[in-house]
Amino acid sequence: MVKKILVAIDGSSHAKKAVAFAGDFASRYDASVKLVHVVQEDRIPDEMKELFEVEHLEKPPKRAYMETVGKKILEDAKKELLGKGIKDIEPVLLVGDAPQEIVDFAKKENIDVIIIGNQGLGKIKELLIGSVTHKVFHAAHCTCITVK
């Protein structure tokens, strides 16, 4: 039985389709939905980290901006699911390597199904670097559904 659904979103058109699909899927099973957006962790040189400390800055401006964008993406997705009658929705903003964060969170939360948009990488590029979707599918402990 499907009780917990994780929807990995990044603001792309495929992610928006994944949210729409997840809304229909969750309503069918009366499942809870965790909306997950991952902000890539910045690789900041040590000298810059020192500058942030000296200037008492909490986060690099780029990361603060990306977190703000991530929160907006989560907010929009939550509104769409509320419009579909889904009541148990939790937006989650994570920081780090997207595939690893998604898989770890899914395992920790005992997620039954991960729904994720297809990023549309070409075959050659996917072979060279892989896609978030591909990596999640291979590492996840649960059923994964890709949406195009």
How do the domains of the chain map onto residue ranges? 4-124+131-147
Q: Which residues pair with 145 in a beta bridge?
A: 115
Q: In 3D, which of 99, 76, 93 has the Cα closest to residue 23?
A: 76
CATH of domain 4-124+131-147: 3.40.50.620
Question: Quick count: other Cβ atoms within 10 Å of Cβ 61?
Answer: 9
How would you class 50 by CB atoms within 10 Å of its CB: exposed for 0-12, middle for 13-18, buried for 19 or more? exposed
Report field, pTM of the whole predicted structure over 0.85 = no
Could you report the per-residue pLDDT of 29-83, keeping only the tens digit for each?
Answer: 999 999 999 998 765 556 656 666 666 666 666 777 888 899 999 999 999 999 9
Q: Which residues pair with 34 in a beta bridge?
A: 6, 90
